[in-house]
Amino acid sequence: MSADKRIPVTEETHKELHELKDPGQTYDDLLQDLARQRRREELENRFRDIEEADSEDLTALEDV
Decide if 30 contacts 17 (C-beta within 8 A). yes
For 11-45, the pLDDT digits (tens) are 999 999 999 999 999 999 999 999 999 999 999 99
Q: Residue 12: what pLDDT? A: 98
Q: Residue 42: what pLDDT? A: 96
Q: Residue 2: what pLDDT? A: 67
Q: Tell me the backbone φ, ψ of residue 8, rounded to 5 degrees.
A: -70, 130
**Confidence band for 58, pLDDT divided at 50, 70 and 90:** confident
60 vs 63: CA distance, rounded Å: 5
Q: Residue 41: what pLDDT? A: 97
